[in-house]
Amino acid sequence: MGGNTFMDIGLGHYLAVSAILFALGLVVVMTRRNAIGILMGLELLLNAAGINFVAFNRFSAPERMDGQIFVIFIVILAAAEAATALALVLNIYHQIHTANVDEAHLLKE
Amino acid sequence: MDQTPILLALLITALPLCAFVIQVFFGRFLPRQGDWLPTSAVGAGLIMALYLFFTQVLGAPHGMEHPAFWKMTWLSVGETSPFVVNFEVMIDNLSIVMLVVVTLVSFLVHLFSTGYMKGEERYNRFFAYLALFTFSMLGLIITSSMLMLFIFWELVGLCSYLLIGFYFTKDSAAAACKKAFLTNRVGDTGFFLGLMMIAAVVGSFSFPDIFDSVRQGMWNPTLLTIAGVCIFLGAVSKSAQFPLHVWLPDAMEGPTPVSALIHAATMVAAGVYMIVRMFPFLAGWDAEAGQSAIMTGNYFESDTLFIIAMVGGFTAIFAATIAVAQYDIKKVLAYSTVSQLGYMVMGVGVGSPSAGMYHLFTHAMFKACLFLGSGSIILAMHHEQDMRKMGGLRKKLPITHITFLLATLALSGVPFFSGMISKEAVLTQAYAYWEYHKHLTGGLAFARFLPFLFCLVAAAFTAFYMFRLVIGIFYGKPRDQHAYEHAHESPMTMTIPLMVLAGVAVIGAGIAIPGGPGTDWFENRNAPEVVVGGMMSSEAMVPSTEVREAWETGAAWHDLHVEEVAETAPPAIKEFHHAYHLAHWPTFLLATLCGLLGIALAYWVFFFNRGKEYVRPGGFLDAWRVWLVNLYYVDDFFAAVPIAFTHWTARLCAAIDRVIVDSVVNGVGILGMAVAWVAGKVDYWAVDGTVRGTGELVLAGGDRVRRIQTGRIQDYVGLTVFGMTIVFVVVMIWTNWN
């Protein structure tokens, strides 16, 4: 591929994407009222971290596969964690009969 | 050195003290309420005193040659040349005689009281007080330190207060004991002033030191006179001289044995004893000879002694006139005592302390007999003291009658009774005193005649009122028939003392004069002929440091006797001596004449009018009588002037206290309250405010901070992210600082 200029896709671009995704995920987690919505945002956060890993793997040590293995772990973790979280949400729903996290304020001082 | 006299004297003094201590605490529980305890203590003391008397005084030609000394340091102030105060004891002829007098009269009074006070309430307490008094009087006699004398002086005053006020539930008795004590206090102030002057000039209180200081000329003559007069003031109050005599007649409120013991024989004699002891001090400084008067024997220039003689002489006649108008037996005897004390004081004042002492001795005997006799009469008449209700008692009270009569004869100066001899000694000295001063011209010589004149006239009055008393009580028809029937003679415990005392009153003369005046042991060497060189022989009269050192080291003593008449004595003294010897017989006759005149007058007035309750004298005598009955208004004067002034001063002080002092105190209180109010505010706002503020701050802060915990997960997530970012940035900057 010859003639890399600023239009060549480098590490920075991947990192930028990952940062944007992270920020979006954070916003979702922080602002959505629905518990399921927060979980979706959580997925975004995890995936953004995964992109970071892969990017560093590709650009810093391409002969190795550590980053990519790590991302597989992350995905597994995300799936397990989503199941657990949903179970929790279900239990809370039994208590407060709504999925609105604003209503789960029993620990409020 | 033979310490027996000292030991015996201390024992004689200590026994009544122990008796007092036991009696006052345990008297109630002893059999017969413990009256035997003080009586036997004093009785033992009497035996020892008589032993001392017969061995030391009568056993030697001039009595006790050297006084015996003993001292114990009490306190010593200051390190270099300390001011030392000692307990000192000195025993010489004078002390031994006084010991005998005090123990004898005290013992007889104790014995009498067992009969007289029988059945009285607080009987045991009475004996306790008597024992305390005896101890105090004995202590006063044996001491050789003025301070110790003053201590015992006050103690006898206290005992007098307690005993006069024995019937304290009676208002008159309570007032009388207070009056006695306060009047004594007035004199004691003078005494104390004199004492302080002595302490300032001499630096010590002991007699030898005081007399030495006079001999060495340490005293400014004016100061010496003033100090002498101040000391005499103590005797004025204690021995009831005019004008401080007012307490003695009121002291008759006490039980009669008390009157006999204290107010006739012993306590009032303490004043006389004190001026006799201090005679070398009072004799002063002979300016012409440039020596102390005790050395030259010229006592007649001393102003102090002249004042003493005038006071004594005036008191003698003053009280004798009052006694004529009294109806209460005890009051007659009380004024008689005042009058006779005037004699004694005058005797010292005209230059013969031994004559004064002699009269003290004889007077103690017959006056105690008279008082105890009056006690017997009073008891027989069931506590009636007014002689207008008596009469014809000689058949009913034979022993009392005889002893009373004997004592009256002695008091009136009938020849060959003891009272005659002692009165004559005093009068002779007074006459010689006047003779000596005839050298002086005009009015001054007349003033020196007054002591003699007063005492002579007083002798006539004395005989008169005493026989008035005797006739009124014992002769004639009884005025109160009912009381007369019930009268009976007193028991033995009361009559034996009467007989003993009357006996001594009669024969007391014989003991005292082995060889005529001038050589008897009473004559403590004040006769001028024995003043030779720088020392007095037999320093019984004038103990000095040389004598004390000789005593302590046992050095031989060169004794000088009367026969060695001093060729070196000044001519004026030789003249005096001549006049003294010439005066004996004339004075004897004059005194006897006066006494007999008084008796004859009394006989004429009262015997022929016996049975009548009251004899009107008539004429100007009636007017004089009003003065007498009102006691020359002396008491009224005292109430109106000094006492009223004292009350006014007290009210003034109370007003000052109320207005000024209390306002200051209240002001301070208000100030305190104001300060407290301010402090309270500060405490509430500043101190408590800080505490409260802190609390509230914490609460408010906590309230605010608490709100982080919303319970919403999303808020926690946001905070976590925020915190992480901060940490991340800080770490990045920190690690990449350089």
Q: How confident is the model at residue B681 (pLDDT cuts 50, 70, 90)?
A: very high
Rounded to a whole number of angstroms, the distance from the CA of B683 to the nearest CA of chain A is 36
Contact between chains at A38 and B707 (C-beta distance less than 8 A): no
Q: What is the bridge-based pairing of β-strands B291-292 and B285-286?
A: antiparallel
What percent of chain B is helix, strand and coil (3-state, nearest 5)? 75, 5, 20
Helix (H, G, I), strand (E, B) or coil at B616: coil
Q: Mean pLDDT throughout B160-166?
A: 92
**Is B509's pLDDT higher than 80?**
no
Given A29, A31, A107, which is nearest B711 (Cβ)? A107
The reported pLDDT for the residue numbered B105 is 92
Q: How confident is the model at residue B297 (pLDDT cuts 50, 70, 90)?
A: low
The reported pLDDT for the residue numbered B136 is 94
Query: What's the CA gap between B708 and B517, in Å, rounded?
Result: 127
**Is B79's pLDDT higher than 80?**
no
Q: Which residue of A has its CA nearest to B711?
A: A108
Cβ neighbours of A104 in B, within 8 Å: 711-713
Q: Mean pLDDT throughout B460-466?
A: 90
Q: How confident is the model at residue B528 (pLDDT cuts 50, 70, 90)?
A: very low
* Domain contains A104: no
Query: Between B521 and B573, where is the model more confident?
Result: B573
Q: Amino acid letter at B591? A: A
The reported pLDDT for the residue numbered B398 is 87
Q: How confident is the model at residue B63 (pLDDT cuts 50, 70, 90)?
A: low
The reported pLDDT for the residue numbered B560 is 32
Contact between chains at A29 and B717 (C-beta distance less than 8 A): yes
CA distances from B322 to B300, B326, B334, B464 (A): 30, 7, 10, 12
Asked if residues B587 and B424 have their Cβ atoms less than 8 Å apart, the reply is yes
- Best CA proximity match to B269, nearest among B369, B192, B356, B161: B356
* Domain contains A84: yes
Given A31, A101, A108, which is nearest B709 (Cβ)? A108
Query: What's the CA gap between A57 and A68, in Å, rounded?
Result: 7
Across B21-161, the runs of DSSP E, i.e. the strands, are 68-77, 83-91
User: Which H helix or E strand runs over B467?
Assistant: helix B442-474
Helix (H, G, I), strand (E, B) or coil at B451: helix
**Is B535's pLDDT higher than 80?**
no
Given B711, B717, B718, which is nearest A108 (Cβ)? B711
Cβ neighbours of A106 in B, within 8 Å: 711
**Is B692's pLDDT higher than 80?**
yes
The reported pLDDT for the residue numbered B587 is 80
Domain enclosing residue A87, as ranges: 11-98
Query: What's the CA gap between A11 and A4, in Å, rounded?
Result: 13
Cβ neighbours of A31 in B, within 8 Å: 714
Chain B residues at the A interface, defined by Cβ less than 8 Å, are 706-707, 709-714, 717-718, 721
Q: Which residue of A has its CA nearest to B705?
A: A109
**Is B553's pLDDT higher than 60?**
no
Q: How many independent structural domains does chain A possess?
A: 1
- Best CA proximity match to B371, nearest among B109, B158, B612: B109
Q: Which of B712, B716, B721, B728 to mutate to test the interface with A (most CBs of A within 10 A)?
A: B712
The reported pLDDT for the residue numbered B561 is 30
* Domain contains A1: no
The reported pLDDT for the residue numbered B45 is 94
Give tens-digit pLDDT for B96-118: 888 888 999 999 999 999 988 88
The reported pLDDT for the residue numbered B95 is 83
User: CA geometry: angle at B394 spanning B388 and B398, to 5°?
Assistant: 135
Give tens-digit pLDDT for A69-84: 999 999 999 999 999 9
Contact between chains at A29 and B711 (C-beta distance less than 8 A): no
Q: Which A-chain residues 23-52 have CB contacts (< 8 A) with chain B?
A: 26, 29-31, 38
**Is B22's pLDDT higher than 50?**
yes
Cα B377 to chain centroid, rounded: 28
Tokens of B620: 């100007």
User: Which H helix or E strand runs over B532?
Assistant: strand B531-532
Contact between chains at A30 and B714 (C-beta distance less than 8 A): yes
**Is B510's pLDDT higher than 70?**
no
Helix (H, G, I), strand (E, B) or coil at A61: coil
Contact between chains at B714 and A106 (C-beta distance less than 8 A): no
Q: Mean pLDDT throughout B550-555?
A: 47
* Domain contains A31: yes
Cβ neighbours of B707 in A, within 8 Å: 109
A12-16, B534-538, B602-606: segment of lowest average pLDDT? B534-538
What's the CATH number where A83 sits?
1.10.287.3510
What are the helix (H) ranges across B168-261? 171-202, 207-215, 221-238, 247-250, 256-260
Query: What's the CA gap between B389 and B629, in Å, rounded?
Result: 18
**Is B153's pLDDT higher than 90?**
yes
Cα B156 to chain centroid, rounded: 6
Q: How confident is the model at residue B623 (pLDDT cuts 50, 70, 90)?
A: confident
Contacts of B391 (CB under 8 A, 6+ apart): B472, B473, B475, B476, B477, B478, B479, B480, B484, B610, B611
Rounded to a whole number of angstroms, the distance from the CA of B689 to the nearest CA of chain A is 29
Asked if residues B310 and B349 have their Cβ atoms less than 8 Å apart, the reply is yes
Backbone angles phi, psi at B613, to 5 degrees: -70, -35
- Helices vs strands, H then E, count in chain A: 3, 0
B215-219, B543-547, B700-704: segment of lowest average pLDDT? B543-547
The reported pLDDT for the residue numbered B534 is 26
A53-62, B51-60, B267-276: segment of lowest average pLDDT? B51-60
* Domain contains A4: no
Contact between chains at A108 and B706 (C-beta distance less than 8 A): no
Q: Mean pLDDT throughout B22-28?
A: 89
Query: Between B541 and B162, where is the model more confident?
Result: B162
Query: Between B369 and B597, where is the model more confident?
Result: B369
Q: How confident is the model at residue B570 (pLDDT cuts 50, 70, 90)?
A: low
DSSP B606: I
Cβ neighbours of A105 in B, within 8 Å: 710-712
Tokens of A36: 């399921």
Q: Which of B707, B710, B713, B721 to mutate to test the interface with A (most CBs of A within 10 A)?
A: B713
The reported pLDDT for the residue numbered B109 is 93
Partner B contacted by A1 (CB < 8 A): no
Query: Between B442 and B199, where is the model more confident?
Result: B199
Q: How much of chain B exceeds pLDDT 70, in percent?
A: 84
Q: Mean pLDDT throughout B628-645?
A: 82
**Is B363's pLDDT higher than 50?**
yes
Rounded to a whole number of angstroms, the distance from the CA of A93 to the nearest CA of chain B is 15
Q: How confident is the model at residue B588 (pLDDT cuts 50, 70, 90)?
A: confident
Cβ neighbours of B706 in A, within 8 Å: 109
The reported pLDDT for the residue numbered B537 is 31
The reported pLDDT for the residue numbered B564 is 35
Rounded to a whole number of angstroms, the distance from the CA of A2 to the nearest CA of chain B is 36
Average per-residue pLDDT in chain A? 90
Q: How confident is the model at residue B424 (pLDDT cuts 50, 70, 90)?
A: confident
Query: What's the CA gap between B183 and B638, in Å, rounded?
Result: 11
Tokens of B89: 């004891």
Q: Mean pLDDT throughout B370-397?
A: 85
Given B707, B709, B718, which is nearest A30 (Cβ)? B718
Q: Which residue of B has its CA nearest to A103?
A: B712
Q: Which residues pair with B535 in a beta bridge?
A: B532
Q: How confident is the model at residue B440 (pLDDT cuts 50, 70, 90)?
A: low
Contact between chains at A107 and B709 (C-beta distance less than 8 A): yes
The reported pLDDT for the residue numbered B569 is 53
* Domain contains A105: no
**Is B175's pLDDT higher than 50?**
yes
DSSP B54: I
Give tens-digit pLDDT for B705-717: 888 888 788 888 8
User: Which H helix or E strand runs over B289?
Assistant: none
Asked if residues B269 and B138 have their Cβ atoms less than 8 Å apart, the reply is no
Contact between chains at B712 and A38 (C-beta distance less than 8 A): no
Give tens-digit pLDDT for A50-72: 999 999 999 988 899 999 999 99
ipTM reported for the complex, 2 dp: 0.81
A29-33, B266-270, B360-364: segment of lowest average pLDDT? B266-270
Buried-state track B503-517, b at ≥16 Cβ within 10 A, e below 16: ebbbebbeebbeeeb
Tokens of B511: 């003991």
Cα B366 to chain centroid, rounded: 20
Query: Between B72 and B298, where is the model more confident?
Result: B72
- Best CA proximity match to B566, nearest among B537, B524, B605, B523: B537
Contacts of B386 (CB under 8 A, 6+ apart): B327, B328, B329
Average per-residue pLDDT in chain B? 81
Cβ neighbours of A102 in B, within 8 Å: 712
Q: Which residue of B has its CA nearest to A102?
A: B712
* Domain contains A46: yes
User: CA geometry: angle at B432 spanning B428 and B437, to 5°?
Assistant: 150
The reported pLDDT for the residue numbered B546 is 52
DSSP B145: B
Partner B contacted by A99 (CB < 8 A): no
Question: Exposed/middle/buried for B8, CB within 10 Å: 0-12, 13-18, 19+?
Answer: buried
**Is B140's pLDDT higher than 80?**
yes
Give tens-digit pLDDT for B187-211: 999 999 999 999 999 888 888 888 8
Q: How confident is the model at residue B504 (pLDDT cuts 50, 70, 90)?
A: confident
Q: Mean pLDDT throughout B529-545?
A: 35
Partner B contacted by A92 (CB < 8 A): no
The reported pLDDT for the residue numbered B85 is 83
Q: Rounded to 10 degrees, what is the CA torsion of B52, B54, B55, B58? A: 120
Q: How confident is the model at residue B555 (pLDDT cuts 50, 70, 90)?
A: very low
Asked if residues B533 and B57 have their Cβ atoms less than 8 Å apart, the reply is no
Contact between chains at A106 and B711 (C-beta distance less than 8 A): yes
The reported pLDDT for the residue numbered B281 is 86
Contact between chains at B709 and A101 (C-beta distance less than 8 A): no
Q: Which residue of A has its CA nearest to B702?
A: A109
Query: What's the CA gap between B507 and B501, in Å, rounded?
Result: 10
Q: Does the pTM exceed 0.95?
A: no
Contact between chains at B714 and A101 (C-beta distance less than 8 A): yes
The reported pLDDT for the residue numbered B571 is 61
Contacts of B599 (CB under 8 A, 6+ apart): B412, B414, B463, B464, B467
Q: How confident is the model at residue B617 (pLDDT cuts 50, 70, 90)?
A: low
Rounded to a whole number of angstroms, the distance from the CA of A20 to the nearest CA of chain B is 15
Q: Which residue of A has its CA nearest to B721?
A: A26
* Domain contains A32: yes
Residue indicated by tokens 């109806």: B327
User: Which H helix or E strand runs over B531?
Assistant: strand B531-532
